Structure 1
Amino acid sequence: MRKIRFGVLGAAKIARTKVIPGMQAGDLTEVTAISSRTEDSARAVADELGIPKAYGGYETLLADPDVDAVYIPLPNHLHVDWSIRALEAGKHVLCEKPLGLDSKDIARLMEAAAQHPELQVMEAFMYRFHPQWEEAKRLVDAGEIGPVASIQSYFSYFNADPGNIRNRAEMGGGGMMDIGCYNISLSRFLFGGEPDRVCGFVDRAPDFGTDRLFSGMMDFSGRVSTFTCSTQLAGHQRVDILGAKGRIELPIPFNAPPDEPTRLILQREEHKGTDRHLTTIEFPACDQYTVQGDRFAKAILDGGPTPTPLDDALANMRVLEVLLESADAARWITCRS
């Protein structure tokens, strides 16, 4: 079966340690080229990971006729410009989240993508492709825990390095752009819609100007999702989904290990008594980056719909923007359609 040949724009850590190894293990993907700001740095990564071609400069990779698609792990402020350049070069685009710096940025990419309807563009929210999330969504949609009324999620790590791009506001750094976008995405994914109104609280790092802690509430027509994300707290991640008849817990919702089993905890309430039935569903080791790559490649090969379309990326960014607006205004704000 034909494989989609990927080129990688940049040698970011997530590319080197997660996405490239994942796609190298894919049934429908292979990584044939990588580019960096210098050919020497690109060659060092290529030699380390067994990638055939190394280019100094992103333009030279885009000119390679043997590259079908590009994966873009560049800093956030470069995502849209290089995605557009890739489309203009005739390449499909898998770009790291967040897809742009704001909704206007993403709309600009959508306009460019509309000029190339034969090409696929996707934001790399890899978590949705993991079997634990597919099962969580199935359980929710099937009513296994009753009508879901509340989602609580946490995602945090500690990083106070002033040189790190996550702490540089001009590059699109900060907790919401880096990890809070997951909390928003999963809420929209599980509720299957957009919030009516939101309320946020922000604590900004005085030395970086980025949001180092953000807590938010999203009201989905009387159903609520609350979350906290932080770049300067102890590392933690967890998602709880609560319904009238039970609960779903995802202990490692975002960074599921590729070489270890993953668990989903399903709790069902027995309202006739006080019994609580707990079931642990275990999933075999799975690399969500491999699955993401294969799903994207299949859409390219089949000419089918993009697994997570650009409309979803735009909607997610709009919610993120309104949450930040709410935090600055210190009040609930109605979401615009």
Structure 2
Amino acid sequence: MKKIKVGAVGLGRLGYRHAENLAFRFPNAELFALCDANEAKLLEVTEAWGVPYAYTSYEEMIANKELDAVLITSPSHLHTRQIAQALEAGLHVFSEKPLGTTVEECRIAEEAVEKHQDLVFMLGFMRRYDPSYAYAKEQIDKGAIGRPVLFRGYSQDPESAIAGALAFAGHSGGQFIDMAVHDIDLARWFLKSEPKSIFAIGGCYAHPEFGQYKDGDNVSALMQFENEAMAFLLAGRTAPHGYNVETEIIGTEGTLRIASVPQKNMVEILDQYGVRKECSQDFLERFSDAYMAEVAEFLNCIETGRKPEVTVYDGTKTTEIAYKCKEAFEKNELVRM
């Protein structure tokens, strides 16, 4: 069986995990090239894993004629340019979210995908590939909870990771686009509709440094969708207990809750503190299976010549909604789509 030769760009936390998965966990793929600005780390990883090619230049990597595809986990503001360059080079593309940090950037990606219909493009909204979320979607689609009325999504990073969040804040696009895009995507997916009005509030409750970027360390938004369903989102940076992603969908005939307690496994600890459950400490731990499943879907689409469910337009729409949330937050007023 011919393996799909993939070049990966970005060796941050998620980039490293994706690269490691490609190197060791997909029999139908080969991690053929790595690209990162940190040359020392790049060479250390490529030598340890036996990766054939190492690049500090993305343009040089995608010029490698042996490559079949690229996986992009570079800083968010580089995504759309790198997507367009890779598609122009004849490569299939998987890009982590967000599609772009502005709607204008997203249009660049849209044009590139439309121009290269023969190639596979996929965006990394990994929660759709988490077993629990996929099961909840099946239940909603078959009418198990009646008509969905309210989507509630909490996405909270641990306080222990605040240094990284602050370092990234200047070019992340803000809380709504950096964190809440996952919940925005899920709300659209579960409710099968688009927002028509948004109100957002929040603030710098523990870290005033976010204020210089017109952002907060905890922000929230309330939306009404075109089908009259409601959505409430919270994105926070200060969870003391760990990484916490919690989702609820209320319907006319029932309610679905996903990870209402952010436990890392099914173990209960009984000790001098009482009975307790440990929490996941980061997104890599919580969504480990989902990150594998989404890349498996990408590789399978290449092999079978089909297109994934998540499209470039999903990326543009979530970015557009996230910026409307940001606008409502900054103006402290209701914004209509």
Same fold by TM (over 0.5)?
A: yes
Q: Which amino acid aligns with 2:21?
A: G
1:190–1:261 distance in 2 versus 1, CA, 3 Å: farther
Find the partner of 1:239 among 235, 240, 247.
247
Distance 2:164 2:147 in 1: 44
Displacement, 1:286? 7.1
Match of 1:271?
none
2:217 corresponds to 1:215: no
1:323–1:298 distance in 2 versus 1, CA, 3 Å: same
Distance 1:329 1:140 in 2: 35
Distance 1:130 1:69 in 2: 23
Distance 1:114 1:153 in 2: 32
Match of 2:281?
none
Match of 2:278?
none
Displacement, 1:89? 1.7
Deviation string 1:56-82 (CA, Å, 9 cap, x unpaired) is 322221111221111111111111111
Distance 1:216 1:37 in 2: 36
Find the partner of 1:301 among 300, 303, 316.
303
SS at match of 1:161: helix
More strand by share: 1
Please give the residue correspondences for 1:25-64 in structure 2 after superposition, counting only pairs within 5 Å: 25-37=25-37, 39-64=39-64
Distance 1:286 1:56 in 2: 27
Question: Does structure 1 retain, via aligned residues, the 8 Å contact 2:81–2:108?
Answer: no
**Any gaps of 5 or more consecutive residues in structure 2?**
268-286
How many equivalent pairs are there?
307
Distance 2:164 2:113 in 1: 35
Q: Which amino acid aligns with 2:19?
A: I
**Any gaps of 5 or more consecutive residues in structure 1?**
263-284
2:225 corresponds to 1:226: no
Displacement, 1:231? 2.2
Match of 2:283?
none
1:246–1:48 distance in 2 versus 1, CA, 3 Å: farther
Deviation string 1:273-294 (CA, Å, 9 cap, x unpaired) is xxxxxxxxxxxx9722221112
Distance 2:45 2:263 in 1: 24
- TM-score of the superposed pair, with normalisation by structure 2: 0.83
1:197–1:68 distance in 2 versus 1, CA, 3 Å: same
Distance 1:88 1:59 in 2: 11
SS at match of 1:287: helix
SS at match of 2:98: coil
Q: Which amino acid aligns with 2:68?
A: D
Segments of 4+ moved more than 6 angstroms: none
Displacement, 1:162? 6.9
